Structure 1
Amino acid sequence: MNDGVVLVLTRLEDSSADMVIGHLVASGAQVARFDPGVDFPEKATLSTVFADGSSWGYLAAPTRHINLKRVRAVYYRRPTPYRTGSTCQVERFSGTEARFGLGGVLASLPCPYLSHPLVLAEAEQKPLQLLVAQRVGFTVPATLITNQLDDARTFAAEYGPIIYKPVRGTSFMESNGSLCTIWTTAVDPADLNETVRHAPHLFQACVNKTADLRVTVVGEQIFCVQIHSDLLDWRADYDRISYAVIESPSDLSERCLSFLKAFRLRFGAFDFALTDDGPVFLECNPNGQWGWIEDHTGLPIAAAIADLLLKDSA
């Protein structure tokens, strides 16, 4: 299978995937890049046969023809979502069929994935993350998920000061057409009102941190970076960040690996708040961004991902 193809599923503009592909090509691997949500069905064709106890087929686009039996590994990065939310009934039907037809065929490939979309879907659940984080020994801030105003006020009185962050980070469009993101925000209990009822809200005890840690795990390799920022949520302004590569404490590394094992993951981007008593778990993005970390620190994350894809499929 070493002469097979590494299939990279991502959108056209993905500089992090570009970095990994560069290392794969330099290693002599054959690489095929494909964006299911854009390329299919208008620009690509799919045929797969399931018969006689096995399956075979191909995925073809104007510039490439992929024999699915020759796919040795899949790097599932950031593909464009299928058009399942379209207001056009025909487009919505076509998008749903593509998601479960093409997406189902790709998900059934008997090769290593980094990481499998079904595994990612489970690992992205923040409530489940908090439970697993506690089980593996991480310190986790007191957390409430609720749409009940009285419970939110009680939580704020017991654990304040508190912060709010989305259960899942989702960008939205302002009325002026600008794209916005909700960052972690301090909550004044006096501002809590009946709008809490409109959606589940994730409130947490605010951590008195001295810095942040971003721990990127690739297979068994740990890349630990200390992040300094004057912001509550450093992601709100990358120009106000400074970085320092540090050695990950052994117990933290072991717990990160145990966390990923619980979710059947080989990659994870962990965020911790660093306090005088040690790191506090905030979340793990199972398909998180890492390219900017490599750009600022020189850590060989892309090479590690490429090596893991080739090693797992050797």
Structure 2
Amino acid sequence: MTDSRSVLVLTNPYDVTADMVLRLLAERRVPVVRLDPGTDLHTGASLTATYRTGNQRGTLRTASRELDTTRIRSVWVRRPSPYEGPQGLSDQDRRFAAEQALWGTGGVLASLPGARYVNHPWNNRAAEFKPAQLSTAQRCGFRMPSTVITNDPYEARTFAAHQPAGVVYKPVWNTPYRVDGQPHSVWVREVHGAEITDAVSVCPHMFQAKVDKAFDVRVTAVGDRLFGVRIDSPDLDWRRRQDLMTCTPMEVPESVTHAVIAYLAELRLLYGAFDFAVTAAGDWYFLECNPNGQWAWQPAETAAAIAHALTDQLEKGPGT
């Protein structure tokens, strides 16, 4: 019998990456509801959840659909807009509405009975902490560059002095930053001991031994299916000038595959975008894992394979 339960896709209206998977779900005749809870619930959509002893019910209404939330087979937490509260309110009232939406709407959508999450939003959030990533990677057997996270300038300078290949700095979170009113990205960059000032004491800073890499690799994991892409770039941080990088599909070594699967299992993820630096000797160094990383920028055949793998996970539903 055909499963009539819907897939709920949580993302913003400009997410062309989600469109690739939505087209595949449509081809397979899987019902889909697309929702951007941070904005749609201010423009006519509604969400209701009812809890009683031994029973939970819910209804999601959009401009075109009415959905029984107990009939949702899977939830894809893609790129929904932040909960910011409706326009037109005072700053205080808007902050209040935004937090109520986060803890209310967000809580309901994260607690749908029987739904399969890719990934569960709470697992996504936990897996975004850089210290948790490093600790998990260490336990799962990845090779890792020596790293220190500290707000002690002496500790930072001492660490840098003991790294013969040099040290790079990277933020522990990509906080929006502006210079002269313009958006500014904080890229990974090499630093020298003399540059590490007492300003480090303001907040935690992350310093890492520089890997003498031959190239970078992005490994996109969907369940137990891994898709590797070699990245050749003139920059230390390939994200800085993506128009200058070249990407080539490549196989993932068995040892790295085992560590990736273990990492996903420990952090309860079905999806992860792993970044590695690979040396000329073939050593793979774990750098980070974005639990909700972009993937449509990769070579067309790789992006298509990832889209199919994600569609498979969403179509499965719970318990499979």
SS at match of 1:244: strand
Distance in 2 (CA, whole Å) between partners of 1:42 and 1:310 is 29
Is residue 297–residue 303 contact of structure 2 (8 Å, CA) maintained in 1? no
Q: Which of residues 295, 305, 308 in structure 1 aligns to 2:300?
A: 295
Partner of 1:58: 59
CA offset digits 1:234-255 (Å, max 9, x no partner): 0001111111111111111111
Is residue 212–residue 274 contact of structure 1 (8 Å, CA) maintained in 2? yes
Partner of 1:7: 8
- After TM superposition, the score normalised by the length of structure 2 is 0.93
Question: Where does 1:233-252 land on structure 2 (aligned, <5 Å)?
Answer: 233-252=237-256
Distance in 1 (CA, whole Å) between partners of 2:79 and 2:105 is 16
Partner of 2:210: 206
Matching of residue 104 in structure 1 with residue 107 in structure 2: yes
Distance in 2 (CA, whole Å) between partners of 1:208 and 1:183 is 18
Q: Which moved more, 1:289-298 or 1:241-250?
A: 289-298
Question: Where does 1:59-78 land on structure 2 (aligned, <5 Å)?
Answer: 59-78=60-79
Partner of 1:179: 183
- After TM superposition, the score normalised by the length of structure 1 is 0.95
Partner of 1:17: 18
Q: CA deviation at 1:296?
A: 7.2
Q: CA deviation at 1:299?
A: 4.6
Distance in 2 (CA, whole Å) between partners of 1:125 and 1:60 is 34
Partner of 2:27: 26
Q: Which of residues 259, 266, 286 in structure 2 aligns to 1:262?
A: 266
Q: CA deviation at 1:95?
A: 0.7
Q: CA deviation at 1:294?
A: 4.5
CA offset digits 1:222-245 (Å, max 9, x no partner): 101111011000000111111111
Distance in 2 (CA, whole Å) between partners of 1:76 and 1:297 is 21
Partner of 1:164: 169
Is residue 223–residue 299 contact of structure 1 (8 Å, CA) maintained in 2? no
Partner of 1:89: 92
**C-alpha RMSD of the superposition:** 1.7
Change (3 A) 1:59 1:298: closer
SS at match of 1:6: strand
CA offset digits 1:99-137 (Å, max 9, x no partner): 111111111102100000111111111111111111111
Q: CA deviation at 1:44?
A: 1.6
Distance in 2 (CA, whole Å) between partners of 1:244 and 1:287 is 22
Q: CA deviation at 1:308?
A: 1.1
Q: Which of residues 92, 111, 129 in structure 1 aligns to 2:133?
A: 129
Q: CA deviation at 1:297?
A: 4.7
Distance in 1 (CA, whole Å) between partners of 2:33 and 2:261 is 30
Residue type at the aligned position of 2:94: E
Q: Which moved more, 1:68-77 or 1:166-175?
A: 166-175
SS at match of 1:129: helix
Q: CA deviation at 1:61?
A: 2.2
Q: CA deviation at 1:312?
A: 3.6
Change (3 A) 1:157 1:248: same
Partner of 1:218: 222
Change (3 A) 1:141 1:66: same
Q: CA deviation at 1:219?
A: 1.0
Q: CA deviation at 1:24?
A: 0.7
Partner of 2:313: 308
Distance in 1 (CA, whole Å) between partners of 2:51 and 2:107 is 13
Residue type at the aligned position of 2:105: L
Distance in 1 (CA, whole Å) between partners of 2:21 and 2:185 is 27
Distance in 2 (CA, whole Å) between partners of 1:133 and 1:301 is 23
Change (3 A) 1:243 1:87: farther
Q: CA deviation at 1:171?
A: 2.8
Matching of residue 151 in structure 1 with residue 155 in structure 2: yes
Residue type at the aligned position of 1:307: D
Is residue 244–residue 297 contact of structure 1 (8 Å, CA) maintained in 2? no
Unaligned runs of 5+ in 1: none
Matching of residue 141 in structure 1 with residue 145 in structure 2: yes
Matching of residue 194 in structure 1 with residue 194 in structure 2: no
CA offset digits 1:9-42 (Å, max 9, x no partner): 0111111111111111111100000001111234
Q: Which moved more, 1:299-308 or 1:27-36?
A: 299-308
Is residue 58–residue 70 contact of structure 2 (8 Å, CA) maintained in 1? yes
